[in-house]
Structure 1
């Protein structure tokens, strides 16, 4: 084994994450490694409407400022598909009739334990009981952008969120857009 953990202690935790400090021996010798662990997996929703447009939310992230992303959030302990459906309604005020699990990924796997699930949502319609815009998440806008323009937005840097880029890549592979 390349890595050995000699000691480990939790140095911070809240209801979303824990941070531990590990004393390790690795390829470069002895050292300290910080690891952030999500308490619950995250979900990402690539929603496509009948006109092949992708649903994007614009929000203000505490850490990075303005960000354009696909709807996403934490599972809060429930099944990932249930969480994806809930997050989609909460962030957009919309519902999807068709859900497909596109794959699983991990975020920042050099410093985190952060499992994530990516879903494709289709058959989009308004949800009767909710309007979009979770105030606590700072969602400023929900927009529908043609898939080719979303790719341009990644290329020119308007979409910078790595998890959104990865989720859109999963969707592009599933839809045969990368062949």
Structure 2
């Protein structure tokens, strides 16, 4: 359950805080925000089609290293992009490329753990609850920081410790199941 709790914390910063920060970085322009989201969706869809089979080919640990290193770079770029609309749009599009990298190894590990559990339904209920706890905690901390005047860049960077922990846990899992 700790794996998905950490993933929830990561998602709070990487997805939810970023959406607010992007909107603010684009001068609160709804057309600019919509355009940035459309560009990111297109980039993510194309990239996702190209990468879906890597974990299934037995490269779980390698995929985790690539995915989380790329996502860490995106988090850092997002944190410094808030003063530049163009840089924020680029960081947003790159974020859409990060998700198709992150989801396959995490999803494969959780799917295999659920299959091995005595009751897959209870396993999935517990993991969903764990994600909710992590995401809620991440959002509350980000909101508290924003309420005290701290830059949203700090709340975005809060994703890094959670990502590092998830990457370590996933690499250990894939080493345990024998995937390079």
Q: Which TM-score band applies after superposition, normalised by the shorter structure?
A: under 0.3
**What is the TM-score with the length of structure 2 in the denominator?**
0.23
* Larger proportion of strand: 1
TM-score (norm 1): 0.24
